[in-house]
Chain A
Amino acid sequence: EPEVTQTPSHQVTQMGQEVILRCVPISNHLYFYWYRQILGQKVEFLVSFYNNEISEKSEIFDDQFSVERPDGSNFTLKIRSTKLEDSAMYFCASSPTGSPLHFGNGTRLTVT
C-alpha cells in the first residue's frame, strides 16, 4: 500500500537555526498538509496546500514557516529561525480529494 514518507525521522537543531522537513506524498494525491503534535498533546493543523498554493493556514503558521512543492514529488516545510517551542512531531499528510488524509510517520524536531 502506498505510504507518505517523511525524512528525517528525527532532527535536532539549535535555536535560531533553519530546518527543512521533507515529505514525499502518495503519488496521485493532490492535497497536502502539515500537522504537528507536541509531545502528549493533540494533533494540530498547520497548513494545507493545493494547486501549488496554500489553501489555509493556522495561527501557528506564522512568517517563520513556509511550504514548498519544489518538484512533482516532494513537499517541504521550512522553519526559518527555530524556537524552543517548535519542538514537536511534525506530520505530513496527503489526500487524493481532500479527504481522507493519509499521514506519514512524522519527523521529531528537537530544538535545543
Chain B
Amino acid sequence: TQLLEQSPQFLSIQEGENLTVYCNSSSVFSSLQWYRQEPGEGPVLLVTVVTGGEVKKLKRLTFQFGDARKDSSLHITAAQPGDTGLYLCAGMGAGSYQLTFGKGTKLSVIP
C-alpha cells in the first residue's frame, strides 16, 4: 500500500509570510498532483509534476518533485487570505490510474 504523509497538518500564518508544505512517501510515484479544496467543494487541481527534480511555478506557488519521485513540496511566497484552504498532494503509482492522497494541510492566512 502506498502512503503519502503530509506535513504540517495545520498551519496558521500572517498575511505576507512564506510557507512550505511537504509531502513524503517511501514509494515511487509516476506523477504527483497538488490540489486545493475549499469547504463543501471538490478538490481543484493546481499542478501535475512528472519528472524527478521538476520545479513548476504558478504565480506565488512553487511546486517541486523530489529527484527520486518519492516526495514533493509546495512553497507559497507572501501568503494572502485567498490562499486559505486545504492543500492535498496525490500520487499516481506506476501502471495505475488510482490517486493516493495525503491527509492534507489545512492552511489559514490571517489578514
Query: Are A and B part of the same complex?
Result: no
